[in-house]
A and B are shown apart, each in its own frame.
Chain A
Amino acid sequence: MTLLHWAIVSPFLFAILIPFLYKAFRNVHTGWFVLLLPVALFAYFFQFISMTKSGDTIKETLEWMPSFGINFIAYVDGLGLLFALLITGIGSLVVLYSIYYLDKKKEQLHNFYVYLMMFMGAMLGVVLSDNLIVLYMFWEFTSISSFLLIGYWYHRERSRYGAQKSMLITVFGGLSMLGGFILLYLMSGTFSIRELVMQSDQLMTDALFLPALLLVLIGAFTKSAQFPFHIWLPDAMEAPTPVSAYLHSATMVKAGIYLVARLSPVFADSGVWLWLVGGFGIFTLFWGSFNAVKQTDLKGILAFSTVSQLGLIMSLLGVGAAALHYTQLDDNIYMVATLAAVFHLINHATFKGSLFMVVGIIDHETGTRDIRKLGGLMNFMPITFTIAMIGAFSMAGLPPFNGFLSKEMFFTGMVRVLEMDIFNLDTVGMIFPVLAWVGSVFTFIYSMIIVFKPFTGKHQPEKLDKKPHEAPLGMLISPIILASLVIIFGFFPNILSERIIAPAVAAITPSLIEEGHAVEAHISFWHGPTPELFMTFGVILFGILLFLLLPKWRKVYTWIPERFTLNSFYDGGLIGSERGAYSFTKGYMTGFIRTYLVYIFSFFIAVLLFSLWFKGAFAINTEELAPIGIYEVAIALLLVISSVTILFAKSRLTSIISLGAAGYTVSLFFVLFRAPDLALTQLVIETVSVALFLLCFYHLPPLSRHEERMSFKLGNALISIGVGAVVTLFAISAYSTKLFDSISSYYIENVYEEAGGKNMVNVILVDFRGFDTLFEICVLAIAALGIFSMIKLRLTRGKEG
């Protein structure tokens, strides 16, 4: 294990220590100890920047299951490093924030930080693994730890509901992703992403390519809350706010983005990939921002806003894939989309993290997150208001914040879709800029709602549980740092571009960087009077107009009735499948033994008849048959008559005696077919059996003693005739196709020489095949012991002794 491996698993190891620290130092908030680790990790990963800037990568292998090709390969390149820095950096800030947010006396801090560290380690594992199976393992760790964190306040029903929902959806996606990975392995013979990228040309032509692509995309879409899998994210807002800020805005929901970006070199040559990633992304952008305006809960707005921004990044990655088809790098204007995706990824993490923290502060200081109850907080919380304003204006895409820059680049990327002439983009591609623009208008509206509804307007102290006041300084540190980053990245975007963005873009589109070219990642503040700028003006203009007229057109949201929402489909589907499974099981598990026998016999008939017919196995060969004798026929008639009598017997005594008659007839058969030992045994045993039957008959309960004929049931008759016919057909067919002679000549020749006996059957029973006899004796012994204990042991009815 190298230092890099230790760094990835260190959060897991540290999580073991947390409960001990919690118990040992009750007076110190456990978060202070936890804070050390992400800060140290951030510093550790920070030193890789100079390495990735020059285009180098690190690859360290730790053997895990080498015979299966599954090894823990830690791989650091621009993309992995960008995510690692986000995870550890925002992780540090979130831990710091949570120290002030969570009360050390009231909350179960050891649980919280154990889950949080588990999550951080899992996330680092996802972004720094080169092996797909290891990536999948860490991926499911993020699902599990996210489940635990959402259900942190497990006594609330909404928390449990949200946790279950997110678990079901993300694990569904995770499993289908695993299927995609296995298909990739079947095609290429490797689990390593590096080697997959090298083979991407051959993979394209494989029949399994498209299924693998779809399955992997389902995994990425569920994790990153893309339409229609976004429904778990708003319900995950029941988690404590630091968790929402960390998992559900900055890191976990970007795991899907990471996966799409990471596997772009493998899949992106395909038009299906471009359309799915781009199309679902752009529609998610629109749908998320459209629904965010409807929400009244601040965290609900932020949840849908996250959905929408993730859709934005996803659509940029999809459109960026088109860059692969225009290979001359020097004037590759399509690269701008990938560039914008990476830049917006960073920007979103900064402003969304700070906004969640702001909402947490409002919740913490006023006791509610409902915008209908909040208002006029500006005077009480000036610092919080400033942070909220910076974050929300950046989200809306206003200058001079970083959101403005990435939104301009976003529009650039979307407008350039129109110039592409591949995969029908020149015709249907029109939806990209249109939806992008409409989504941005809604983004502007809900950003304004976040700023102006709680902080301006009339203060309503009677609706609040607490008297609002400014948050403690410790709680403000993290959002202040994030808000400062928003401004710094806004004014000086190029401190990022050379060091972080360019290597990340190089990792997403490696085939374009072959000839030692560097990625042109210069982000300029002013492009001149371009169409993008006018689009932004239009967004602001229409945004302001619609925000002011919001009460007038709110009715739009009632157009879609509650029944047709995705949530009600999910709930209905869950309840429906539970009910369906219940009634299905209830339907065929009747509890009557007769029903199950019907299933078994029907299956027997169907399968055997089908295979007999399908294989054409039925044959009649009359050459080998023994001649029909008069005695045999007479006895056969006797046997048939006695057994059929059982069916028509009115009293049970008759049926028992008929059974005895059948048994004695069978022993007569044994006599005729020259089997003296069998005849002897059959006679004795039939006698004992009939005696036993009579015993049972005698002890029939007097009340239900009904001497009546069996009522005729057609279904039963058909099934039993079927079984009998199948057995007859098989017997005739088997006899007619004898493949080789019996081995019995050996027994006949050697029974005296080798074993010293003249009765062949007995010598076979005790000498040649004595083992059978041993265990047959065991069977009898067990039956006898069982009968004895059944009669003697009476534990169930204590009162009878």
Chain B
Amino acid sequence: MEIVMAIVVGILITVAVYLMLSKSLLRIIIGTALLSHGAHLLLLSISGLKGGAAPLLGEHAKSYVDPLPQALILTAIVISFGVTAFFLVLAYRAYQELGTDNMDQMRGNEGND
């Protein structure tokens, strides 16, 4: 199963990188969002997907899944959400001020060239 997950993560990252190389700002941010999905899934699968109960002691199971990567992913999800929200508002403000979402047109002004 881990190999399948590795391939899925590879596909996610391929799509994310392709989107990040495009011209539209919105697509770039979609790309970063996909990239963080890929990273989270990678974190989860690399620690092993062996069977076991959910990490709740009330289950009284013989074995549990590893709780540590889950804690790490939870932190990562929240942080990437914060950053994505900030980027989106930044992009929104950039639309408002510059009137474009084409990255090729955002190259500083003449004076800085």
Instruction: Give the B-binding residues of A (Cβ under 8 A).
Output: 591-594, 597-598, 601, 620, 622, 624-629, 632-633, 636, 639-640, 643-644, 646-647, 652, 655-656, 659, 662-663, 666, 669-670, 673-678, 681-682, 685, 688-689, 692-693, 695-697, 699-701, 703-704, 710, 713, 716-717, 719-721, 723-725, 727-728, 731-732, 734-735, 742-744, 747-748, 751-752, 758-761, 764-765, 769, 772-773, 776, 779-780, 782-784, 786-787, 790-791, 796-797
Contact = CB atoms under 8 A, between A and B. Distances in A.
A693 B26 contact: yes
Contacts of A752: 57
Nearest to B44: A673
A678 B15 contact: no
B1 A666 contact: no
Contact of A731 (B6, B18, B49, B86): B6
Given A688-B81, A723-B17, A744 B26 contact: no
Nearest to A669: B41
A428 B67 CA distance: 83
Contact of A791 (B40, B93, B104): B93
B78 A675 contact: no
Contact of A656 (B9, B30, B77): B30
Interface string B56-71: 1110000011111011
A680 B68 CA distance: 17
A673 B47 CA distance: 12
Contact of A761 (B1, B8, B38, B74): B74
Contacts of A620: 3
B68 to A, nearest CB: 5
B84 A732 contact: no
Contacts of A632: 1, 4
A200 to B, nearest CB: 58
A760 B6 contact: no
A764 B68 contact: yes
B58 to A, nearest CB: 5
Contact of A627 (B1, B16, B79): B1
A673 B50 CA distance: 9
A646 B57 contact: no
Contacts of A784: 82
Contacts of B6: 727-728, 731-732, 735
B1 to A, nearest CB: 4
17 contacts: A592-B107, A594-B22, A628-B1, A628-B4, A636-B5, A644-B15, A659-B33, A673-B45, A696-B88, A696-B91, A699-B92, A710-B22, A713-B21, A719-B21, A727-B13, A782-B82, A790-B89
A594 B65 contact: no
Interface of B: 1-24, 26-27, 29-30, 33-34, 37-38, 40-42, 44-58, 64-68, 70-71, 73-75, 77-79, 81-86, 88-93, 95-97, 99-104, 106-108, 113
Contacts of A758: 56-58
A737 B74 CA distance: 26
Contacts of B84: 689, 692
A681 to B, nearest CB: 6
A124 to B, nearest CB: 50
Contact of B8 (A592, A636, A713): A636
Contacts of B37: 662-663, 666
A524 to B, nearest CB: 74
Contacts of B74: 677-678, 681, 761, 765
B9 A701 contact: no
Contacts of A724: 10-15, 17
Contacts of A696: 26, 29, 88, 91-92, 95
Nearest to A620: B3
A751 B88 contact: no
B89 to A, nearest CB: 5
Contacts of A643: 11-12, 15, 34
Nearest to A595: B21
A644 B34 CA distance: 11
B85 A624 contact: no
Contacts of A677: 70, 74
B96 A780 contact: no
B18 A720 contact: yes
Given A636-B5, A675-B44, A689-B85, A760 B57 contact: yes
A776 B75 contact: yes
Contacts of A674: 52-55, 65
Nearest to B52: A674
Contact of A593 (B91, B103, B113): B103
A69 B69 CA distance: 53
A732 B58 contact: no
A-B residue pairs, 9 tightest by C-beta: A724-B14, A728-B10, A720-B17, A760-B67, A783-B82, A758-B57, A760-B55, A731-B6, A720-B18
Nearest to B5: A636
B49 A723 contact: no
Contacts of B55: 674-675, 748, 759-761
A783 B81 CA distance: 9
A748 B12 contact: no
A723 B9 CA distance: 11
Contacts of B1: 625-629, 632
A170 B3 CA distance: 63
B53 A727 contact: no
A597 B19 CA distance: 11
B70 A678 contact: yes
Given A669-B44, A704-B100, 18 more contacts: A591-B108, A647-B15, A662-B12, A663-B37, A678-B74, A678-B77, A688-B85, A695-B88, A720-B16, A724-B15, A728-B6, A728-B9, A735-B46, A760-B67, A761-B70, A772-B71, A776-B75, A780-B81
Given A626-B49, A662-B37, A695-B92, A783 B86 contact: yes
Nearest to B1: A626
B58 A780 contact: no
Given A759-B56, A773-B75, A701 B95 contact: yes
A399 to B, nearest CB: 70
Contacts of B79: 776, 779-780
B45 A744 contact: no
A385 B16 CA distance: 86
A594 B103 contact: yes
